[in-house]
Amino acid sequence: MASKRNKIEIIYDILFAIKEKNNRIKITQLLHKANISHAKSKPYLEELFEKELIKEITEKKQKFFSLTDKGFEYLNKLDQMKKFMKTFEI
C-alpha cells in the first residue's frame, strides 16, 4: 500500500505533472495526473501561485497552468533531493 503523501510530495507531483505536459496543462488533467481532488488541490495551487512557482495562461479562451522559471528551478531542486533519497533508500 502506498504511504500517504506529505505536503511537499503533493507539490512535487503537481509541478511534475505540469512539466510533463509540456508546461501547459488544464486543471482537470492536472488533478488527474497529480492524483488529487479539486477541493484538496486548492490550498496547494494557491500557495504555488503565491510563491510564483506557477502561472495561469489563457489560450483560445481556455485556461492552462504553467511553470514559471522559479517553478522550474524549484522542481529541479526537488528532483535532485528525490534522486538523493532514492540512491540512499533508507
Partner 1 sequence: MSFYIYSPQWFSGIDSLLEIITIITSLIISYYSFKTYKLFEIKRYKYFSISFLLFAIAFITKIISNLIIIMPVQKQIILPYLTYTYTSYIKLDIIENISFTIHKITLLLSILILFFILNKEKNIESIILTSILIIILGFLIKNYILFNFVIILILSYIMIISIIKDKIKYRIKSLFEIKKYSNISKFLIGLNLSYLTLFLAVEEHTFYFLGETILALTFMSVLISIIKIFKK
Interface contacts to partner 1, rule CB under 8 A = 6-9, 76, 78, 80-81, 83-90
Looking at residue 53, what DSSP letter applies?
S
What's the min distance (Å) between Cβ of 77 and partner 1?
Answer: 8
| φ, ψ of residue 67 in degrees (nearest 5) | -85, 145
Measured from the CB atom, is 63 or 77 closer to partner 1? Answer: 77
Shortest Å, Cβ 89 to partner 1:
4
The cell numbers describing 66, all together, are 504553467
Beta strands in 1-90 (DSSP E): 54-59, 62-67
Provide, rounded to whole angstroms, the least separation between the CB of residue 51 and partner 1.
14
